[in-house]
Amino acid sequence: MQRALDFDKTPALGVPLPFFLNVPLFALLAGLLAAWAGPQAFTSHGNGTALALTHLWTLGILGSAMLGALLQILAVACNVPVGAARVIAGGAHALLTAGTLLLATGFLDWRTDALIGAAALLGVAFALYLAAVAWALWRHRLQVYKGAREILVPVRGALFALAGTVLMGLTMALSLGLGLPLPDWLGPHALWGLTGWGGLLLMGMSFQLLPIFQVTEIYPKPLTRWLPLLIPGLLLAWTALDASAGLPRLMRETVELLLVCAYALWAGVTLHLLWTRKRPTPETTTLFWFAGMLSLLACAPLWIWMTHGHAPRAGMVLGTVIIVGVLGSVANGMLYKIVPFLLWKHAQDAMIVPDRDPGQARIYLKILPKMAAYIDERAARLQWAAHVAVVLCWALAAAGWAPAAKAAGPVLIVSAAGLAWNTGRALRLYRKTLQAMAALPDAHPGLR
């Protein structure tokens, strides 16, 4: 596995950034909806408000973060740039944003026209994105960096899982919209989306990003080789057993147990690597990774509770912990690493130094902020604390505790506002830096 990224292959800022800006926006919307609905949002995973909240999280927050991050990581870590990235990213982002808003509206009012429209927009968004990424993987298959296999294997599995998740989701949305019989695909849809698409993509990124940005040891080779192959196989086996009538329930539960053990193993190894990292002081991103992996370990007893505890709310709690605690924590934390880097990199690329004069370059570097200056570490840690409160509050709300259900929305609004403020501050600093560099040639004629 390579410990370096080719930052010269970084796509244009307008490719991943709009996806990342969706994260605080949709988090605010989810918080407002949860505050408005109150405990009703957590009564059942099948009511309209709960479905709207779920998809604001999975599509608006997590989907946006993961789609944007994948475009970045494929280019710089694998030498797999997506062709016409600005057009693909712009179209997919606009369709995803509009489709998610329309889908949430459709669930809230059970409006059939909104559900059909959302299915059309989201179908085109994901078809465009998946086709572009699949073509890039095929086109650049011979130019992939040596050592990138550990990323590409789970990425391919994640994209396969995303395609299956989208097809099942679109079919169910269209069935609701057209008044057709609803396929019993809610379980497979959630499983493939959370443990296939979300889990595998997160795993693949961790193999590359943690050793580089958190200065950890490299993941054990047997784990990086076999775990990304085992998980899709288990998902396929679970789907086949779930669709087969007359087979013992124990067979499906055994596959589920193996899937839980696979992710618990990855979480345990990741926590060990983070704990023994070479950088002693944890960054905010490190704290988010700890929160995500501890949440993932908590899924094991929650699965046992769901399977053998005869608790009607256990499945809802498990899904909430995966969405908010595992995927939500890591997606939030990665923004504090990726966004400052992108802004710093593109500000640096904006320098115009004639004849590569070191003296003139120093003039630019005096006003070029360091990467750590884009987001205040104290403000980021405060937002991390707010996010931890969100995880606990939403899990307790899903378990049926009324005070937590009432607080779930306001707590998420506070966390989302903190993330929006920190991201906005970074963007303001980037804009001021570009303006200051643009004014330099007038103050220093030698730079013209």
Percent of the chain with pLDDT over 90: 79
pLDDT in tens, 340-399: 999 999 988 877 655 556 666 677 677 888 999 999 999 999 999 999 999 999 999 999
Contact criterion met (CB below 8 Å) for 270 and 293: yes
pLDDT in tens, 105-116: 999 989 999 999
Contact criterion met (CB below 8 Å) for 413 and 389: no
pLDDT of the residue at 368: 86
Match 């004014």 to its residue by tokens: 439
For residue 27, what are the CA distances in angstroms to 23, 38, 46, 420? 6, 16, 21, 9
pLDDT in tens, 363-373: 767 788 899 99
| Calpha distance 165→117 (Å, rounded) | 18
- pLDDT band at residue 447 under the 50/70/90 scheme: low
pLDDT of the residue at 3: 52
Q: Strand (E) positions, 147-227?
A: none
pLDDT in tens, 158-200: 999 999 999 999 999 999 999 999 999 999 999 999 999 999 9
Helix axes 284-308, 328-349, angle to 10 degrees: 150
How is 88-112 classified by DSSP, letter by letter?
A: HHHHHHHHHHHHHHHHHHHHHHT-H
Q: Report the alpha-carbon angle 274-316-259, nearest 5.
A: 50
| Calpha distance 283→289 (Å, rounded) | 10
Tell me which of 141 and 262 has the higher pLDDT: 262
Contact criterion met (CB below 8 Å) for 133 and 163: no
| Calpha distance 218→2 (Å, rounded) | 9
pLDDT of the residue at 367: 81
pLDDT of the residue at 246: 77
Backbone CA torsion sign across 380, 382, 383, 387: positive
Helix axes 85-109, 112-139, angle to 10 degrees: 150
- pLDDT band at residue 117 under the 50/70/90 scheme: very high
pLDDT of the residue at 353: 56
- pLDDT band at residue 27 under the 50/70/90 scheme: very high
pLDDT of the residue at 441: 66
Query: Does residue 2 carry a pLDDT above 60?
Result: no
pLDDT mean across residues, the chain: 92
pLDDT in tens, 54-106: 999 999 999 999 999 999 999 998 999 999 999 999 999 999 999 999 999 99
Query: Residues 6 or more apart from 298 whose CB is under 8 A from it?
Result: 321, 325
Exposure on the CB side of residue 113, measured as CA atoms within 13 A: 0
- pLDDT band at residue 448 under the 50/70/90 scheme: low
Rounded to 5 degrees, φ, ψ at 399 are: -75, -10
Other beta carbons within 10 angstroms of residue 370's beta carbon come to 9
Tell me which of 91 and 281 has the higher pLDDT: 91
Three-state DSSP class for residue 140: coil
pLDDT in tens, 213-249: 888 999 999 999 999 999 999 999 999 998 887 788 8
169, 125, 205, 318 alpha-carbon torsion, rounded to 10°? -20
| Calpha distance 229→441 (Å, rounded) | 55
Mean of the pLDDT values across residues 121-137?
A: 98
Mean of the pLDDT values across residues 294-310?
A: 93
Contact criterion met (CB below 8 Å) for 324 and 291: no
Q: How many distinct helices (H) and strands (E) make up the chain? A: 16, 0
Domain assignments of the chain as residue spans, ordered by start:
278-448
